[in-house]
Amino acid sequence: MTYSRAFQKFEDRLEEVKHLKVLGNSRVRVIRKKLVDSSFHTNALIRAATVLLSSHIQGYVEDLAELLLERAIACGKNGDIMPDTFRYQYLKGEIKALRQSDDPDKLVRAARRLNAKSDILDITKPLPSIEEDASYKDGFGNPTSTEIKKFLSRFGVKDLDISLKIYLKTQTYIAGNAVDQIIDRRTKIAHGDPSATLTPKDFLDYLNLVRKYCAAIDRSACKHFKNIGCTGFY
């Protein structure tokens, strides 16, 4: 099966998560000349792997977004291949400043920033090169299955529920739930919850489901962009 460059990078990232999981199964009795309880050792590593997996889910989705934009720009088609929801996210900071401020200086500065980005508004010309400005990613920071779908809809990748069912079939719900459970545990771990953990077996099950979910996202998003004439994802 061929996946995008973004997903191939995700696969590489998962190796360190798998490494932590394997370490969690190892029997370590002494670390730094201190007796270590086996269950404590396993629990600590699984919790670390959970946080790492969560960060890699977000990293993958953002890498995919960069790749989709890169290929949309490279294909040279008119800007209407990207929806206005993308333009709004890209210009949101300037629009917000214009709507919320009454200060003349702030308004003019916001207008100048908006004017500097105004090429994106012309849908009769190819998309301008904007890869260096990551403002189109703003607001994406909690990569649950719902937020991933919402984020990719900015790029016109809609009806993901339908596409995911094609690739995941009967595992559609449990794969999306696995992503949500990893993110939920990451949040609890970040807030110091000692009970937010998994057994090594359960973690491996979640890891496999997360990979399947991201693979289905990859195929769905790339298929959408290939259908509108973009290539070079692999």
129 contacts 185 by C-beta, under 8 angstroms: no
Domain that holds residue 152: 5-78+141-227
State the amino acid at position 100 in one-letter form: Q
* Rounded (10°) CA dihedral 35, 37, 38, 39: -160
The tens digit of pLDDT for each residue in 3-13 reads: 999 999 999 99
Residue 51 has pLDDT above 70, yes or no: yes
Could you tell me if residue 29 is inside a domain? Answer: yes
pLDDT-derived band of residue 188, with 50, 70 and 90 as boundaries? very high
Question: Which pLDDT belongs to residue 19?
Answer: 87
In angstroms, the CA 44 to CA 52 distance is 12
Could you tell me if residue 195 is inside a domain? Answer: yes
Residue 201 has pLDDT above 60, yes or no: yes
> Domain count of the chain?
1
Could you tell me if residue 129 is inside a domain? Answer: no
Question: Which pLDDT belongs to residue 1?
Answer: 73
